[in-house]
């Protein structure tokens, strides 16, 4: 895809998600395309489904869902660079008739009531007032339609020293993104979906791990292992370049690594943290 070149100052001024989209990071959610496919299956997406992905980022998951299930997908995000990248991706993949992207606010979606069959978020609800957002999701969802979320969790009961480490990681991610960030329990995710009026709510817990089939799905979504390798190399080059040239970005990556280390690599915390795939139906 064509890369819009920005100056170092412009790049430093980007918010977290716009910066990651500019680098070419395909997605942010734990579980990758493996979890995206499983969530889509839980939502029973098919060729007739009209899907809305809230917080779509650069459109990687949305295009993957459109390609895999043959459905129609609309993606919204508040990050302008992300939406520009998503539209570039759609054109590059020849999916203009299946996937469309626009700027949109999760609290005020630019759609009429009862518009979509399925609404999905991935690593988005963590940063939202779920009461406001989920009620807005339900507004634009057709009767009988489903909401599906892929979000991180921490167990409800953890030792005090583990809880303190998790709070430290939450603070780091909130500082990086400049958004409120917390790791609710699976029980809380369920209660919030039910509180929005959804029924038949299911919550499936998963541990954060990279599965072998993830690389196969990534390669397929990118059009082959050659493209997958090029994406990886481009990401490494971009991250190295900006890390070396900008103290601000260097500190940004250092904090990001620390936060991920606490949640994913620390033995005492990682066993209490993972992601949920949760779905609920509009009556």
Are 148 and 29 spatial neighbours (Cβ–Cβ below 8 Å)?
Answer: no
Exposed/middle/buried for residue 161 (C-beta within 10 Å: 0-12, 13-18, 19+)? exposed
Mean pLDDT of 45-71: 96
Write b or e for each residue in 169-178: b if 16 or more Cβ atoms lie within 10 A of its Cβ, otherwise e.
bbebbbebbe
What residues does each domain of the chain span? 8-157+183-228+274-282
- Encoding tokens for residue 197? 């009026």
- pLDDT tens across 114-128, in order? 999 999 999 999 999
Share of the chain above pLDDT 90, in %: 64
1 confidence band (pLDDT: 50, 70, 90): very low
Q: What local confidence, expressed as pLDDT, does residue 210 receive?
A: 64
Q: Which of 60-64, 164-168, 213-217 has the lowest mean pLDDT?
A: 213-217
| Per-residue pLDDT tens over the stretch 214-259 | 888 888 888 788 888 888 898 888 888 888 888 888 998 899 899 9
Its CATH architecture, for the domain 8-157+183-228+274-282, is 3-Layer(aba) Sandwich (3.40)
pTM above 0.75, yes or no: yes
- Could you read off the pLDDT of 176-221 as tens digits, one per residue? 888 899 999 999 999 999 999 999 999 999 987 766 788 888 888 8
- Rounded distance, CA 135 to CA 264, Å? 31
Residue 114's pLDDT is 97
pLDDT computed for residue 269 by the predictor:
92
pLDDT higher than threshold 60 for residue 2: no
Between 81 and 6, the higher pLDDT residue: 81
What mean pLDDT value characterizes the chain?
91
Q: What is the pLDDT of residue 224?
A: 82
Of 112, 43, 106, nearest to 71 by C-alpha is 43
């Amino acid at each position: 895809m064509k890369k819009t070149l920005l100056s170092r100052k412009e790049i430093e001024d980007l918010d977290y998600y716009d910066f990651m989209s500019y680098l070419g990071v395909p997605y942010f959610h734990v579980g990758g395309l493996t979890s995206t496919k499983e969530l889509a299956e839980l939502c029973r997406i098919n060729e007739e489904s009209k899907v809305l992905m809230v917080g779509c980022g650069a459109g990687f998951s949305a295009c993957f869902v459109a390609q895999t299930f043959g459905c129609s997908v609309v993606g919204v995000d508040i990050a302008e660079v992300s939406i520009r990248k998503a539209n570039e991706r759609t054109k590059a993949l020849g999916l203009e008739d299946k996937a469309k992207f626009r700027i949109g606010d999760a609290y005020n979606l630019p759609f009429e009531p009862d518009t979509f069959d399925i609404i999905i978020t991935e690593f988005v609800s963590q940063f939202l007032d779920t009461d406001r957002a989920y009620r807005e999701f339900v507004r634009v969802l057709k009767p009988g339609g489903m909401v599906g979320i892929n979000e991180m969790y921490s167990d409800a009961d953890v030792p005090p020293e583990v809880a303190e480490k998790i709070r430290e990681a939450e603070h780091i991610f909130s500082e990086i993104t400049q958004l409120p960030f917390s790791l609710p329990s699976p029980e809380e995710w369920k209660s919030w979906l039910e509180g929005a009026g959804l029924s038949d709510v299911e919550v499936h817990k998963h541990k954060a791990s990279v599965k072998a089939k993830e690389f196969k799905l990534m390669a397929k979504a990118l059009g082959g292992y050659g493209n997958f390798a090029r994406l990886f190399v481009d990401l490494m080059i971009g991250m190295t370049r900006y890390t070396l040239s900008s103290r601000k970005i260097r500190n940004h990556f250092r904090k990001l690594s620390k936060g991920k280390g606490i949640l994913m690599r620390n033995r005492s915390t990682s066993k209490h943290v993972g992601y949920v795939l949760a779905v609920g139906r509009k009556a």
